[in-house]
Amino acid sequence: MEYIIRNGTVFDPLNKVNGEKMDICVKDGKIVESVSKNALEIDANNKVVMAGGVDSHSHIAGAKVNTGRTLRPEDSKKDLFSKEGLRQGSGFSIPSTFKTGYQYSGMGYTTVIEAAMPPLVARHTHEEFMDLPQIDKAAMPLFGNSWMVLEYLKNGDLSMCAAYVAWLLRVTKGFAIKIVNPGGTEAWGWGKNVHGLDDEVPYFGITPREIVTGLTKVNEMLGLPHSVHVHPNNLGHPGNWETTIDTMDCVKDIKAKPKFGDRDTVYYNTHLQFHSYGGTSWKDCVSKGVETADYVNKHKHVMIDVGQVTLDETTTMTADGPMEYDLHMTNGLKWANCDVELETGSGVVPFIYSPKGPVYSLQWAIGLDIFLYTNPEKLILTTDHPNAGPFIRYPRVIAWLLSKEYRDDWIQNRVHRWAAEKSHITETDREYSMYDIAQITRANSSKVLGLSGDRGHLGVGAKADISIYDIDPEEKSGKKIEKAFLEAAYVLKNGDVVVKNGNVVKEVYGDTIFVNAEINESLEAELLKDLNMKFKKLYSVNMENYPVQDAYANSWMPINIDATEIQ
């Protein structure tokens, strides 16, 4: 199929295109220089054209997501979805699998990363991926509390740790190294936690600092597409901003050496809003978003996503088990907790971010501090879906950024006074441009993931993942901005028109992306000998039953990495 998208106002930061009137040509699922006279025409006059959105951190599939659905039947009664020719679905903060794909697609997103996959239950994640239409997806296995990782790093054996990471990515069909509360989730298995970079993990004699630096070195030894993806210690606790900056700083001298993609960062700090709290308690808590933003602006090795609070009722879920217990003790709502043997753990708690609540309003303002004071080349728009709010609120976040008038209306009329008093959002008149929006929703995420070779931009040869929005680039009406980005005028996925006027008109299934890292045969033999012993002694499953088989995807997209030089 051939298309020509005519006269669109194009925003493509990876190719330095800022609001130019251009035609985009599509043939056989790719963006090309020209098409034949038989190409179908899409009129994009007075419309904004961007690459398909790339969400680098969301929780859309797997064990904890399904636990959340089970724990919260009341959420499943909300926001019913029913369109002729499509699968029905429901759920506001934890939508069903099909509804998740349809809603992302309706907003113009075409690639989404599941940010926390317990390796032992990887099949569950991939089974749900098979039911997620419209988008390409990938999953990040959890490494920061793995007994194998802790042991190899404690012993200073980076080669064996690298071999284990490569093996685990391959057998779980995983994409990147994810670290959550390094050492703290393992401590939670014993009813404990760690609270700083230099606290020892119980029974392992290793610190969070050693875990983060060790896995960052391993990431660059292997040359993985994405940098280490880190949820630091002390999430959600007043005063945690110092731990956050210390964690970023401890890897600043490690150099990026990707073997696939062109990222130049080694450290990705996710949901920075939850890690930018000053004070000693909720009574004296203040925003430190400007301070963390200042660090990010000054250091090339860091990329962050925000985790913007959207002031909704939602469902929190994370592999940071002790933090979820703290939330449960704070709000008294129901709580689910799980330990995944030898690897990780998780918790799930409903949460209500009331706009009239002082703390919740401050959290909202902290996220906006980070957006407004960070260089747009250094951050990515997320809500840590569903933790700070559901992904369908991305259009509202975009409206807050593009329109100071809309933002001020919330500050003056909708949120508690703490938002203005304890943050810096009223001290700047800054408004994002449409180019900035393309940067924080497409360009930055595709680059830091190592996927900018074929997505996140509109250059010739890229996948024809394209979003068209019926909005003037200079529009300042928050409601108009929100509607336009919630209901894309057109979305193309691999060159097919899949959305018109916000409605899915064609159901398609994207790729599941994973890293296939090859290591030295003798090193792998040594690793497998060690793992065989550990599986027999410690795991409740046989090693032969651990890998994810090829049948667990509609189509695989492997990223092949040659790391055979590691000895």
pLDDT, tens digit (0-9, with 9 covering 90-100), for 204-230: 999 999 999 999 999 999 999 999 999
Q: Is residue 228 part of a domain?
A: yes
Residues of the chain with pLDDT under 50: none
Instruction: Indicate yes or no: pTM above 0.85.
Output: yes
Q: Kindly state the percentage of the chain with pLDDT values over 70.
A: 100
Q: Is residue 10 part of a domain?
A: no
Predicted pLDDT of residue 28: 96
* Alpha-helical runs (H) found in 223-279: 241-249
Q: Is residue 504 part of a domain?
A: no
Predicted pLDDT of residue 486: 98
Predicted pLDDT of residue 84: 87
Predicted pLDDT of residue 148: 98
Q: Kindly report the CATH number assigned to the domain that includes residue 71.
A: 3.20.20.140
Q: Is residue 313 part of a domain?
A: yes
| Segments forming the whole domain that contains residue 299 | 51-456
Q: Is residue 451 part of a domain?
A: yes
Predicted pLDDT of residue 66: 94
* 194 CB-near residues (< 8 Å, 6+ apart): 181, 182, 183, 184, 187, 200, 201, 207, 208, 233
Q: Is residue 562 part of a domain?
A: no
368-420 pLDDT, tens per residue? 999 999 999 999 999 999 999 999 999 999 999 999 999 999 999 999 999 99
CA angle, residues 516, 438, 130, in degrees to nearest 5: 40
Of the candidates 58, 139, 132, 137, which has an alpha carbon nearest to the alpha carbon of residue 504? 132
Alpha-carbon distance 95 to 548, whole Å? 25
Alpha-carbon distance 138 to 118, whole Å? 13
Domains of the chain: total: 1
Q: Is residue 219 part of a domain?
A: yes
Predicted pLDDT of residue 1: 87
Residue showing tokens 């046989």: 542
Distance, C-alpha 257 to centroid of its chain: 22
168, burial (CB in 10 Å: exposed 0-12, middle 13-18, buried 19+): buried
DSSP β-ladder status, 556-563 and 512-519: parallel
Predicted pLDDT of residue 495: 98
Q: Is residue 525 part of a domain?
A: no
